[in-house]
């Protein structure tokens, strides 16, 4: 028995903090086969882990952005 894992990809991203996660998403969006390796949850590790940040994705649409901003402003703690 072996614990070996073999993967094949065009791009290997090490670290799933916000920058690594967005790099993986961008590479995949450009058609690359991507493997993202991280010890935690995508978008919340690395330098971001201590900051307690969250990743806020807003579609590139002015009306959707306005709705998102309005919802965020109504959210508790903001």
Q: Give the pLDDT means over successive 10-residue stretches in the chain (78 positions).
A: 88 88 94 91 64 66 87 72
pTM: 0.56
Q: What is the pLDDT of residue 34?
A: 97
Residue 1 lies in a domain: no
pLDDT tens sequence across 50-59: 555 556 677 7
Residue 64 lies in a domain: yes
β-sheet bridge partners, residue 35: 12
Count of structural domains, the chain: 1
pLDDT tens sequence across 8-18: 999 999 988 87
Residue 31 lies in a domain: yes
Query: Residue 45: which domain range?
Result: 11-74
C-alpha 10, offset from chain centre: 18
Q: Which helix (H) or strand (E) holds 66?
A: helix 62-74
């Amino acid at each position: 028995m072996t614990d070996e894992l073999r993967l094949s990809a065009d791009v290997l991203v090490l670290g799933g903090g916000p920058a690594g996660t967005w790099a993986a998403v961008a590479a995949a969006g450009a058609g690359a086969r991507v493997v993202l390796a991280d010890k935690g949850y995508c978008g919340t590790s690395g330098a971001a882990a201590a900051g307690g940040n969250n990743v806020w994705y807003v579609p590139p649409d002015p009306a959707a952005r306005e709705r998102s901003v309005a919802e965020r402003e109504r959210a508790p703690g903001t």
